[in-house]
Amino acid sequence: MTLVYVCMAPHGCETIRRITPKRMQQAFGETEQALRTLASHVNRSRPDTIVIATPHNLRLWKKICIVTSQNSSGKLTGENGSSVSLKVKCDIEFSRQLLMEASEKGLPVVGANYGSTEGETSDMPMDWGTLIPLWFILNKKGRQPSVSIVTPSREIPLTQNVRFGRTIGEIMERDRSKRFVFVASADQAHAHKKSGPYGFTKAAAEYDRIVLRAIEENNLNIVLQLKSKFVEYAKPDSLWQIAILAGIIERVKVKSQLLSYQVPTYYGMICAEYARL
C-alpha cells in the first residue's frame, strides 16, 4: 500500500482533442500522448486516492489551501464549442488528516469547503489545473479513486511548501489501508513567446532547461535553489508544485523519467514520472 506513483503533468487545455480546434491538435500531440501514458501508469498502480497539487484552485494569500469538500466538479469549453466535464468524490479523511498534521507543524494551511457542509452540494468548483490531468486519468469505466486537492502558496518561503509535501508523504507512508498517487499539475515557464500574454524573456527557456536537468538527474533541489528574481522573469507555473513533490519523494526512493517536453505556444509543458524503486 502507501505511495505507489508520482508524476508531473501539464494542464494545457489544448491537450484534450475534444475541445481543441483541429488546426492546433497536432502541435500538442506529443504532450497529449505522454499524458495518456501517465494516465495508463496511474491506473496500472490502482490508487485509492489521488492527491493533486494545482496552482489554479483557491489562491489564498500566504496560505496553502486544502480542499475539504466532499466533491469537486468542473467543466471546460473549447473554441469549437465542445466541452468536457468531470465530477469526483474527495477523500475527506485524508484531507482532514493532512490539515490537522500540517497545522500542528505550524504550516500556514487552510481547509476550504464550498457550498454545504456535507452531501452532494459540498462541491468545490474544479479548476483546469485539476480537471485536465484527471480527465486523462479518470476517463475510463469502473471503480474510480477519490481525490484530494491542494494548492501551494507563492508568498511563503518555498521551504514551507517542501515541508507540506513532506507531511503529505508521511501520512501516505503511514496509511497502510490505501494506495496513493501524487500528481503535480504544472506548466513550466510562460514567457517563451513575444506574442503571449506575458511577453518574451530568455529566462523562460533557461528555466525549462533547469527543470529538465533536475528530472534527468533525479534531483529537484536544482530547481528549488533558483533565485526569486529569475523565477519572476521566467514566469513558471510549476515551482511551487515541484516543491511539494520534492518533499513527498524525500520519504521514498524513486527513479525519474522524462516522457515529453514541448513548447507549442507561449508556455512549456513537461510530462515526467517518478516510479518507486
Domains and CATH numbers, the chain: 2-188+238-276 (3.40.830.10)
Residues 6+ apart with CB under 8 A from 89: 70, 71, 144, 146, 147
On whether the CB atoms of residues 149 and 90 are closer than 8 A, the answer is yes
pLDDT of residue 161: 98
**pLDDT tens digits, 144-183:** 999 999 999 999 999 999 999 999 999 999 999 999 999 9
**Tens-digit pLDDT profile for residues 266-276:** 999 999 999 98
Lowest-confidence pick of 68-72, 78-82, 179-183, 269-273: 78-82
Q: How many CB atoms lie within 10 A of CB 80?
A: 12
pTM: 0.97
Task: Report helix, strand or coil for 88.
Answer: strand
Q: How many helices (H) and strands (E) does the chain have?
A: 9, 11
Here the cell at position 140 is 475510463
Average pLDDT over residues 116-130: 97
With a cut of 70, say whether residue 252 has pLDDT above it.
Answer: yes
pLDDT at 142 over 90: no
CA 183 to chain centre: 5
Give alpha helix (H) positions in the chain.
22-25, 29-44, 92-104, 128-138, 158-174, 202-216, 221-224, 228-234, 239-249
